[in-house]
Amino acid sequence: MQNYLIHERSKANAMSLRFFTAPGQFYRGNLHTHSTKSDGVLPPEEVCRRYQDEGYDFISLTDHFVGLYDYPITDTTTCRNEAFTTILGAELHTGAMEKGNIWHILAVGLPSDFEHANAPHFMSVEGSETVAELALRARDAGAFVAIAHPHWSHMTAADARSIKAAHAVEVYNHGCAVDCDRGEGFVALEQLLHEGVRLNLIATDDAHFKTNDYFGGWVMVKATENTPEALLAALKAGAFYSSLGPEIHDIRIVNKSVEIECSPVSAMIVQAEGTNAEMLDGDKITKGKLPLNRLGASPWIRVSIIDSSGKRAWSNPIWIDG
């Protein structure tokens, strides 16, 4: 699978994650949301209004794509305005995972006429389309595809390996964190990274507005304009990071060190394959330099920053070989 992070090497032996300094700006968005078109409690217009009022630049309203709700790809085009946009999408379902649960796959950027799988409800149907087939079909239709809430779904390593067409793994799901303390997906992501599968990561809400499951996790997407087309292209290119609060301003790899610029934090961490990691801690750190030489021969690294309240932000995996 191709690398979705774009970087460049300069004559000074520096690798810069190009999107941080490329033209454009960062747009805040939520990629996993529900409305009364499936099992949410607010109509689509009210969901969009609340996200815009909270300062978001865009959302994808991803109602459950099952027959129980008449297979909705919720039309949010009327909710767009000069300061806020939406990307059509859905949470797709099919088949059965190893533990018997039906599959949940996020597809952001679906055409409104996307053909549904045989998923009349939230129970698996024998002989239905495989998740690999459904994910590939969604990606071929133009969608940004993500593996949803691995912890909540009790996803096994074999389950994760079966999806060949995903762009990302949902590593933080605020609704699952709030409602049942099963909101993380880093184990599933890193199992795949260790096997050489190049995937990015997203933080989302999975908001239904039944509980305090909203405004908790988001993506910051670097694009030249706040349009569905530009945002979707940036997502597919990996030109984004994920956050629960802190801001990442730049990440550079220079002479076997990682240089990080961000909003004030109390810790910067660089993770690598296995148990390898480097950490810098302090008070209101905004710039840091962490060496790579103790991280071994890991083919990838990723960056986490943590503020004084415990809120985190995460880079996508950075593949050292380009």
pLDDT band at 322 (very low <50, low <70, confident <90, very high): low
Q: Is residue 2 part of a domain?
A: no
Same domain, 158 and 122: yes
Domain boundary among 213, 238, 263: 238
Residue 2 pLDDT exceeds 90:
no
Mean pLDDT of 308-316: 98
- The separation between the first and the last C-alpha atoms of the chain, rounded to the nearest angstrom, is 13
Residues 103 and 218 in one domain: yes
Domain final residue, candidates 238, 272, 302? 238
Quick one: DSSP state of residue 69? G
Residue 67 maps to a domain: yes
Asked whether residue 106 falls in the same domain as residue 136, the answer is yes
| CA 40 to mean position of chain CA atoms | 21
Q: How far is CA 26 from the centre of its chain?
A: 15
* 82 and 110 fall within a common domain: yes
The C-alpha atoms of residue 13 and residue 200 are separated, in whole angstroms, by 25
For residue range 75-95, what is the model confidence (pLDDT) as tens digits? 999 999 999 999 999 999 999
What single letter denotes the amino acid at residue 80?
Answer: R
Paired tokens of 221: 């997407």
- The tens digit of pLDDT for each residue in 25-62 reads 999 999 999 999 999 999 999 999 999 999 999 999 99
| 246 within 8 A of 260, measured Cβ to Cβ | no
More confident residue, 256 or 1: 256
Name the domain boundary from 216, 238, 260.
238
**pTM for the full predicted model:** 0.94
Same domain, yes or no, for 34 and 90? yes
Contact 193, 201 (CB under 8 A): no
Same domain, 114 and 157: yes
Determine if residue 194 is left, alpha or beta; phi over 0 gives left, psi from -120 to 50 gives alpha, anything else beta. Answer: alpha
- Together in a domain, 114 and 220: yes
Total Cβ atoms within 10 A of residue 299: 15
Shared domain check, 220 and 268? no
Q: Rounded to the nearest 5 degrees, what angle is found at the Cα of 1, between the Cα atoms of 4 and 63?
A: 70
Residues 281 and 138 in one domain: no
pLDDT at 321: 75
Asked if 144 and 236 count as a contact pair (C-beta separation under 8 A), the reply is yes
Within a domain: 303? yes
- Banded model confidence at residue 15, pLDDT cuts 50, 70, 90: very low
For 164-202, the pLDDT digits (tens) are 999 999 999 999 999 999 999 999 999 999 999 999 999
Q: The CATH number of the domain where 137 resides is what? A: 3.20.20.140
**Number of folded domains that form the chain:** 2
DSSP string of 301-321, one letter each residue: EEEEEE-TTS-EEEPPPEETT
Sequence-distant (6+) residues with CB within 8 A of 19 are: 6, 222, 234, 237, 238, 239, 240
Strand order in the sheet with 144-147: 64-65, 89-92, 105-108, 144-147, 168-173, 200-204
- pLDDT tens across 114-155, in order? 999 999 999 988 889 999 999 999 999 999 999 999 999 999
Tens-digit pLDDT profile for residues 231-274 = 999 999 999 999 999 999 999 998 889 999 999 999 999 999 99
Do residue 120 and residue 147 come from a single domain? yes
Residue 1 within any structural domain of the chain: no
Task: With beta carbons less than 8 A apart as the criterion, state whether 101 and 149 touch.
Answer: no
- For the chain, the average pLDDT equals 93
Is residue 271 one of the residues assigned to a domain? yes
More confident residue, 231 or 6: 231
| pLDDT tens-place string over residues 91-123 | 999 999 999 999 999 999 999 999 999 999 999
**173 and 213 together in one domain:** yes
Q: What is the CA radius of gyration of the chain?
A: 19
Residue 50 domain-assigned (yes or no): yes
Q: What angle do CA 33, 231, 142 make, to 5 degrees?
A: 80
The three-state secondary structure class of 65 is strand
Domain of residue 311 covers 7-20+246-319
Residues 118 and 250 occupy one common structural domain: no
Distance CA 230, CA 57 (A): 13
Residue 10 has what pLDDT? 30
Residue-level pLDDT at 259: 96
**Which CATH number characterizes residue 304's domain?**
2.60.40
Are 294 and 276 in contact by the 8 Å Cβ rule? The answer is: yes
